Structure 1
């Protein structure tokens, strides 16, 4: 080793903080970019076309808009506690870090494994939906050849892998553009309904108590909470924003407000576009076509074709966002030493979790291959994977709600940051009760939620809970075999 190299090595030893800084992810997202990135994961056009009709059909029918708003209030109660922990725990690990801080490292690692499962299922579902939508666009709209859905899915995988490899700012710009198109189309539809229906578009039947409490309010809550899925990603990206405290707080509440208003108002317009009685018959006869038929009737055939196009871009946005979130969970688990350290190396130029992103791309390719070999209807695959995501998300929300309460109780009076945490603990307790109810409903109607029956439903149920258990067992093993790694679980800084 020459003198220059020796001097460099000595400098590194003298400046370990600089070395750690080089291993941190870097980004410059502001409030709007962060919020749009998370809302894009929610895929508004997909929710409108494929999800809201299911909520109306299986939930509380005409009372769906009120249920969605109520679920938004519950999520806000939970968000208050999440932001308290985000302020006190300097970690971008999301639910993985928060559950570890509140319920211990074993449950924390279990939550980390469950989070990976959750977003991986959402991502694979997006790939299946994207392939279907792309084939429909080429074949039905442009009168092109009818190609296997998985051919398009592989193309989408290539683009998503490239975008996910770079700095988060690249993804944020792409997702913001796609989200603007989706929201624009939905706004076009809402305005068209108002223009045609006049005051009838604002009938208040959806907020009549007899309708709000009709049907299955439990399933309405289960699906309603799912509509807000992914809001915790604002915390996962905390190292890649301009001001972690202010940006994350403002963006999180902005996500909840925008999602709540968008879905509640659009479902209200959708219901009144048919009429209180007719909407149930419409979604019952054609759950997947009721929304698109309404778009064509009120906004025109051009808007109908654009919906097909935006389903493609919306699916892609969902995939990219889920890819980014999954990569960061993989990165954080690697940074803590639970997974191979190589996955936590930061790209020297892009300051992105490039290797973790490649790992997610390989896992995606493996999952897509399994979907292809299963030779199943891709529409059913999407429904099953979306249900898997929703069910796992409820488990995670319940765990973090309990963790918030446990953390506040354990640290009460020991942290001086202007908040005792009492209000957050109360809000999280209320949210936990709702999540227990939703989880019980989801478990009872698991086949309805996922579209899986028999052996397939049992396998999916075991996989979900098995991943949570695998994380717990892994932590127990690490406690005895690698105590230094066990101590880092959920606690890495930056």
Structure 2
């Protein structure tokens, strides 16, 4: 029988706070997690037509610009990993730079964001699974069955060791990237609809479109890249591994999605915007049939389902690690920090999130809500705001952390790059809020109520930290200190 009460003070893999690392994850492994969470194929099929149709062909160039913004952010973010050896990621860095109350508030928001995005992604997974099963195999399995089944499989994988999760996610991710690359190469090799052009990568193409709309969609492609730091304690060489994984994740997503967006523009030529608006969900299938064949379009349909499940599972892993870090610091009940001695998985945190997701799905079924328009789109609104907002605060925290002592780092690394990133991310947050009606396709109070959930949760986290400072100062002083003692 598995003992599920392992001591929470011991880092995974047996690392001491300042000892030699004995983790098992390389940069390649962590990149698998990040890319799988970003669901490259599911995102491309579901979001690129929307961005092209509403924002124009400049979407291809915008992926590169967004990648540049986030690379600026990553300069300071990665620098913090050397001095804050804690797997709390954004929460740990904001705690170190801007204080424990705000850090805990952000940690609560981050845990909610990852929990919601994982639960929300079950919606499109179930919808695409139902459609694919019906069209390809003639099996009419309703989406609620797929949704509940997907949650159960997610929960089982969450109880197993991280290496098994990596193999599953790695397989999906490689297959997704391969399919996108094959489609892009097929379009290029055949010269597209009317010859190849670099117009989609020009500044003029960006200026002609709705920049705010495109940014809102494009930044979603990078959701979760900052989760690289959550695996710090399981990395072989934490500082070097996380640096490579963070920049590698940004580069892969930016280059891959930019190429995909550019190639889909070439596939339809001058009619691309019209096609994107008229048949957005069929756009990639049409291109696949025309440039490769029917069999390839069917393969894409199957892999889109896998892509969404990989996203569900990857964000589940991120959620459990946030809960584990908060529990280990005494902010939430200690039971969430328990790891299985057999698999080393944070089993209680995983079970808690699996239960949360199952309850959300069941409520959605009982209420007769749409799994895509309600569960996924509306459920992801808090995330669309909170992730760039948390990254903006983290960039500010980097500057604050190094303000009195640069600790041997260059001014560019700890002042200039984080400051530029903070400004850029603040603009992104503003544009997301300004385009909320477009994102939700609804009007009225819901467009400020859903983003406002973040402020409520932030306030709860700050209040919890202040309460700990007053009632349990010895625990309060330990917050964010794991690995520093």
Q: What's the TM-score once normalised by structure 1's chain length?
A: 0.91
Structure 1 counterpart SS, 2:446: helix
| 1:351 to 2:341 alignment | no
**Residues 25, 337 of structure 1: alpha-carbon distance in 2 compared, 3 angstrom cutoff:** farther
Q: 1:438-467 CA distances to partner (integer Å, 9 max, x unpaired)?
A: 111111221222344334334312212211
Moved more, 443-452 or 47-56: 443-452
| 1:103 to 2:91 alignment | no
Structure 2 segments unaligned to the other structure (5+ residues): 1-5, 15-22
* Equivalent-residue separation in structure 1 for 2:83 and 2:194 (angstroms): 49
Given that 2:339 and 2:345 are in contact with CA atoms closer than 8 Å, whether structure 1 keeps it comes out as yes
* Equivalent-residue separation in structure 1 for 2:116 and 2:353 (angstroms): 12
Superposition deviation, residue 115 in structure 1? 0.7
| 1:131 to 2:126 alignment | yes
| 1:426 to 2:416 alignment | yes
Q: 2:154 matched to which residue of 1? A: 160
**Residues 19, 127 of structure 1: alpha-carbon distance in 2 compared, 3 angstrom cutoff:** closer
Q: 1:57 matched to which residue of 2? A: 53
The alignment yields a C-alpha RMSD, in angstroms, of 2.0
Moved more, 349-358 or 422-431: 422-431
1:487 maps to which of 451, 474, 477: 477
- Within-5 A mapping of 1:268-283: 268-275=262-269, 277-283=270-276
Structure 2 counterpart SS, 1:339: coil
Superposition deviation, residue 482 in structure 1? 2.0
Moved more, 371-380 or 395-404: 371-380
- Within-5 A mapping of 1:319-468: 319-381=312-374, 382-412=376-406, 415=407, 418-468=408-458
Q: 2:298 matched to which residue of 1? A: 305
Q: 1:335-381 CA distances to partner (integer Å, 9 max, x unpaired)?
A: 01111001101211211211111111111112212222331222202
Superposition deviation, residue 198 in structure 1? 5.9
1:222 maps to which of 216, 226, 230: 216
Q: 1:302-331 CA distances to partner (integer Å, 9 max, x unpaired)?
A: 111112111111111101100000000000
Q: 2:463 matched to which residue of 1? A: 473
Q: 1:103-148 CA distances to partner (integer Å, 9 max, x unpaired)?
A: 1111101110111121112111211111111111211111112x32
Given that 1:189 and 1:299 are in contact with CA atoms closer than 8 Å, whether structure 2 keeps it comes out as yes
Superposition deviation, residue 201 in structure 1? 5.4
Q: 1:82-123 CA distances to partner (integer Å, 9 max, x unpaired)?
A: 111111111000101011111111110111011112111211
| 1:32 to 2:25 alignment | no
* Equivalent-residue separation in structure 1 for 2:445 and 2:58 (angstroms): 34
Q: 1:8 matched to which residue of 2? A: none
Superposition deviation, residue 152 in structure 1? 0.7
Q: 1:181 matched to which residue of 2? A: 175
Structure 1 counterpart SS, 2:477: helix
Given that 1:408 and 1:421 are in contact with CA atoms closer than 8 Å, whether structure 2 keeps it comes out as no
Moved more, 295-304 or 86-95: 295-304
Given that 1:44 and 1:183 are in contact with CA atoms closer than 8 Å, whether structure 2 keeps it comes out as yes
Q: 1:213 matched to which residue of 2? A: 207
**Residues 309, 201 of structure 1: alpha-carbon distance in 2 compared, 3 angstrom cutoff:** farther
Structure 1 counterpart SS, 2:379: helix
* Equivalent-residue separation in structure 2 for 1:482 and 1:422 (angstroms): 39
Given that 1:25 and 1:346 are in contact with CA atoms closer than 8 Å, whether structure 2 keeps it comes out as no
Given that 1:24 and 1:346 are in contact with CA atoms closer than 8 Å, whether structure 2 keeps it comes out as no
Q: 1:5 matched to which residue of 2? A: none
Superposition deviation, residue 20 in structure 1? 6.5
* Equivalent-residue separation in structure 2 for 1:160 and 1:141 (angstroms): 24
**Residues 372, 421 of structure 1: alpha-carbon distance in 2 compared, 3 angstrom cutoff:** farther
Structure 1 counterpart SS, 2:24: coil
Q: 2:17 matched to which residue of 1? A: none
Structure 2 counterpart SS, 1:213: helix
Given that 2:192 and 2:268 are in contact with CA atoms closer than 8 Å, whether structure 1 keeps it comes out as no
Structure 1 counterpart SS, 2:129: helix
* Equivalent-residue separation in structure 1 for 2:285 and 2:79 (angstroms): 41
Q: 1:56-100 CA distances to partner (integer Å, 9 max, x unpaired)?
A: 2333x1111111101111111111111111111110001010111
Q: 1:265-314 CA distances to partner (integer Å, 9 max, x unpaired)?
A: 11000111111x31111112222222232222222211111121111111
* Equivalent-residue separation in structure 2 for 1:135 and 1:25 (angstroms): 40
Given that 1:226 and 1:393 are in contact with CA atoms closer than 8 Å, whether structure 2 keeps it comes out as no
* Equivalent-residue separation in structure 1 for 2:279 and 2:466 (angstroms): 49
2:82 maps to which of 84, 87, 111: 87
Superposition deviation, residue 178 in structure 1? 0.7
Q: 2:18 matched to which residue of 1? A: none
Q: 1:246-282 CA distances to partner (integer Å, 9 max, x unpaired)?
A: 111111111111111100011000111111x311111
Superposition deviation, residue 241 in structure 1? 1.8
| 1:170 to 2:187 alignment | no
Q: How many corresponding residue pairs? A: 470
Superposition deviation, residue 19 in structure 1? 6.2
Moved more, 324-333 or 161-170: 161-170
* Equivalent-residue separation in structure 1 for 2:262 and 2:216 (angstroms): 19
